[in-house]
Amino acid sequence: MIMSMSFALLSLLWFNSNQFSVGKGWRGIVPLHSTKADVIKLLGEPNLKVDGGYNLPDVTVNFIYSTQPCELGWNVPVGTVLRILVSLKKDRPKLSELDIDLTKYKKKVHGELPDITDYINDEEGILLEVQQGEVRLIWYDPAAKDNHLKC
């Protein structure tokens, strides 16, 4: 009982400490380098109706996997993580609170939704969607160093 409580506490601390990390993939899962098996090992089977979807206490996360050669333009084996979408549920950090260098990000305001701004870092493959100064979504895409895997 004590061991399972300790594991639960350590898991909670680990998940919360990694919630807003935006570099090097999400919780160790990296597009084009991680597989569906890696995700299942980390999180278990998906708990949303969408394949690759997880409803966690702090976030909703969706993994997009390759299902055929050259899917989304990437030459990787079937079952490889292509993209990760993380939707922050609560305790959304202010963009200014994140330890990131905004000079490495392009800023793009949504035309039809002017209160939403995307901050895009193509080098690292990260897109931050910000509304009223708070980070709502984080997209993890392949990093520029992986362009050699394009079809």
Helix (H) or strand (E) segment spanning residue 121: strand 116-121
Number of domains in the chain: 1
pLDDT tens per residue across span 110-139:
878 889 999 999 999 999 999 999 999 999
The pLDDT of residue 114 is: 84
The pLDDT of residue 12 is: 33
- With a CB cutoff of 8 Å and minimum separation 6, the contacts of 142 are 31, 32, 74, 82, 83, 125, 149
Q: Residue 10: which pLDDT band, with cuts at 50, 70 and 90?
A: very low
Q: In the chain, what is the greatest distance between 2 CA atoms, to the nearest angstrom? A: 53
Containing structural domain, residue 24 = 2-149
Q: Residue 34: which pLDDT band, with cuts at 50, 70 and 90?
A: very high
As a whole number, mean pLDDT of residues 70-89 equals 96
pTM for the full model?
0.82
